[in-house]
Amino acid sequence: MTFQRARSEEQRAIRRQAILDTAMAMLDEMPVAEVSLNELSRRVGLAKSNVLRYFESREAVLLELLTGALQAWLAEVSDELATGIDAHLSAMGRGDQMAAVLSRSLARHTVLLDLVGAQAGVLEHNVSVDVVVRHKQSALTTLGAAVEMIRRRVPELGDGARTVCMTTLILAGALSTYCRPSASVLAAYEVDPALAQFAPDLRSSLESSVAMLIRGALVRSGDPLGASEAQAGSTP
């Protein structure tokens, strides 16, 4: 792909979107750590200096992709929660169903999880304050919508719904890195199969972690039914 110089706002918008689309295609092939500005420039058909006219760094490109990936996932999982949670169940029962839906959905969005896992340690470095502000403001809007989505299904969570939202995403991003071991680690598991417990299944591990998170949030919220169920569940 080779571009002529963009001379209008429409042409610049097309150029910018082409850079984002190319970077997303790269993420379908490789992890965040392997996406380089040089390769992105080559694939999009622009000089590196021209790519930097639209995005100040590789990290700025990836942060924008994260914003879009979060919004796309939220729209998708909202429909799944609408059909995957039985409103007649107790708060704990609905919380367990929510954990199952969230984990199943997130486990499918490997690119999103890779971006989330790299956000604090990589993507939020080598970017200007303006880029971070724009990303965080968009993330606040998305988080607010996610919180309301969760509260609608399990209102007993109260303010704990915000903690559940943020922590679920952080857990998913962190767990995804452990569920994609390197070649050396895989070889180590072959030498000693007992070590494979350090490579958990993403979906099942995330589901159990989020279920515990939601149950704990219900108890902390003071929900009487949630507390009684938690106590009953811990009785031998």
Q: Are 85 and 184 in a shared domain?
A: yes
User: What is the model's pTM?
Assistant: 0.85
Range of the structural domain that residue 39 is part of: 1-55
CATH number at residue 78: 1.10.357.10
The domain boundary, picked from 19, 36, 55, lies at 55
The secondary structure of 94-155 as a DSSP string is HHHHHHHHHHHHHHH-HHHHHHHHHIIIIITSS--HHHHHHHHHHHHHHHHHHHHHHHHH-G
Q: Are 24 and 94 in a shared domain?
A: no
pLDDT 10s digits, 56-65: 999 999 999 9
Q: Are 42 and 97 in a shared domain?
A: no
Q: Are 37 and 145 in a shared domain?
A: no
Name residues of the chain where pLDDT drops below 70.
Answer: 1-7, 223-236
The number of folded domains in the chain is: 2
pLDDT 10s digits, 100-144: 999 999 999 999 999 999 999 999 999 999 999 999 999 999 999
Q: Are 71 and 93 in a shared domain?
A: yes
